[in-house]
Copies of this chain bind each other. A is one copy, B any other.
Amino acid sequence: MSQQTALVFDLDGTLVDSVYQHVLAWREALHEVGIELSVWKIHRRIGMSGGLFAQGLLREMDHPMEQSIFERLQNLHAEYYKQKSDQVVPLPGAKELLSRLTELKIPWAIATSGRMKSAGATLETLEIPENVPVVTRDLVPYAKPNPDLFLEAVRQLGVDVTDTIVVGDSVWDLLAARRARTLGVGLLSGGYGQEELERAGAYRVYEDPAELLRHLDELGVRST
Contacts and interface: CB of A to CB of B under 8 A. Distances in A.
Interface in A180-224: 188-196, 199, 208
Contacts of A190: 40
A192 B191 CA distance: 8
Given A28-B87, A195-B195, A195-B196, A189 B17 contact: no
Contacts of A193: 192-196
A39 to B, nearest CB: 5
A43 interface: yes
Interface in A9-65: 17, 19-21, 23-24, 27-28, 31, 36, 38-40, 43
A91 interface: yes
Nearest to A40: B191
Given A192-B193, A193-B196, A196-B193, A38 B24 contact: no
Main secondary structure of the interface of A (DSSP, over half): helix
Contacts of A39: 17, 19-20, 191
A189 B20 contact: no
Interface string A81-95: 000100101011000
A24 to B, nearest CB: 6
Contacts of A188: 40
A155 to B, nearest CB: 32
Contacts of A196: 193-195
B38 A17 contact: yes
Given A20-B23, A21-B24, A28-B87, 6 more contacts: A20-B24, A24-B84, A38-B91, A40-B188, A43-B191, A193-B193
22 contacts: A17-B39, A17-B40, A20-B20, A20-B24, A20-B27, A20-B43, A21-B24, A31-B87, A36-B89, A38-B91, A38-B92, A38-B189, A38-B208, A39-B191, A40-B188, A192-B193, A193-B194, A193-B195, A193-B196, A194-B196, A195-B195, A195-B199
Interface of A: 17, 19-21, 23-24, 27-28, 31, 36, 38-40, 43, 84, 87, 89, 91-92, 188-196, 199, 208
